[in-house]
């Protein structure tokens, strides 16, 4: 029988407006026979031809140059074998997975389910002050993370390797089904991120302020305020969306 596997994905892009992929990296997390999850030895990265020059600003972040991707496969050819490996997966994962999902479409991924380790970190470790991939690395210092394998930062395989250690620990604290469920929802922020109530936990925020925040443009902030209102048995009083009727062509 095949071991249950989640594949962690990380992408680097070319910038220049369209942000076409120039590298994809992966790291597998496996469910062992003892019922615990572990970071596997299966990891790697491949360059991808973005079909356009890489911007200097973006090169300064990941240091991938145009000459590095000459002759590399295009995204539609490189992605399927990484996203749909032999033996199958139960899910794909990424930190702030909405970014990867823009490129790893259902057609390329085989309609895989996704875990967002950023959204799950908000739930599993709400006491932490910040939740970026690299800050989680140094705030938590995950067991078994080999420092050198996780470098350089902002390259696809090292970043996927770091994310995989967060995912392993999450899977050993919460079920796979729970992580998938949290990932389908907006992020539940543990504290108010900005404004007069910045830094407060939601139970410290007045009802009027919660209702204001429940109308915010940011979906995670809105969801977090609505969740606290629901916990208190209050409605957000946000009216349902309406479709304006245009009586004449202007």
Question: How many other CB atoms sit within 10 Å of the CB of residue 151?
Answer: 13
pLDDT at position 238 over 80? no
Let me know whether 169 and 197 are in one domain: no
Asked whether the whole model's pTM tops 0.85, one would answer yes
Let me know whether 81 and 147 are in one domain: yes
Let me know whether 17 and 30 are in one domain: yes
pLDDT at position 243 over 80? no
Question: How many other CB atoms sit within 10 Å of the CB of residue 126?
Answer: 13
- Asked whether residue 112 is assigned to any structural domain, the reply reads yes
pLDDT (tens digit per residue) in 168-185? 999 999 999 999 999 999
Q: Measured between alpha carbons, how far is 86 from 121 in angstroms, rounded to an integer?
A: 29
pLDDT (tens digit per residue) in 22-67? 999 999 999 999 999 999 999 999 999 999 999 999 999 999 999 9
**Domain span including residue 85:** 5-184
Of 117, 76, 85, 78, nearest to 99 (Cα)? 117
- Please state, rounded to an integer, the average pLDDT across all residues of the chain: 93
pLDDT (tens digit per residue) in 78-129? 999 999 999 999 999 999 999 999 999 999 999 999 999 999 999 999 999 9
Reading the block at residue 100, the tokens are 């990867």
The 8-class DSSP code of residue 91 comes to E
Let me know whether 83 and 25 are in one domain: yes
Q: For the chain, what is the domain count?
A: 2
């Amino acid at each position: 029988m095949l071991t249950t596997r989640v594949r962690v994905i990380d992408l680097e892009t070319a910038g220049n407006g369209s942000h076409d992929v120039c590298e994809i990296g992966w790291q597998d997390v496996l469910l062992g026979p003892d019922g615990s999850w572990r970071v596997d030895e299966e990891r790697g990265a491949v360059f991808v031809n973005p079909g356009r020059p890489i911007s200097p600003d973006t090169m300064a972040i990941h240091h991938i140059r145009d000459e590095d991707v000459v002759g590399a496969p295009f995204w539609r050819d490189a992605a399927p074998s990484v996203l749909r490996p032999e033996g199958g997966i139960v899910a794909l994962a990424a930190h702030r997975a909405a970014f990867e999902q823009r490129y790893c479409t259902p057609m390329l991924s085989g309609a895989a389910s996704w875990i967002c380790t950023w959204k799950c970190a908000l739930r599993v470790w709400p006491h932490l002050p910040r939740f970026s991939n690299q800050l989680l690395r140094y705030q938590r210092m995950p067991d078994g993370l080999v420092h050198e394998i996780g470098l350089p930062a902002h390259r696809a395989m090292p970043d996927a390797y770091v994310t995989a250690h967060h995912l392993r620990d999450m899977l050993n604290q919460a079920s796979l089904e729970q992580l998938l469920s949290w990932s389908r929802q907006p992020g539940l922020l543990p504290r108010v991120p900005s404004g007069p109530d910045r830094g407060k936990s939601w139970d410290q925020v007045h009802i009027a302020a919660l209702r204001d925040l429940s109308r915010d443009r940011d979906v995670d902030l809105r969801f977090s305020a609505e969740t606290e209102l629901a916990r208190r048995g209050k409605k957000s009083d946000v009216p349902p969306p309406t479709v304006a009727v245009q009586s004449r062509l202007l």
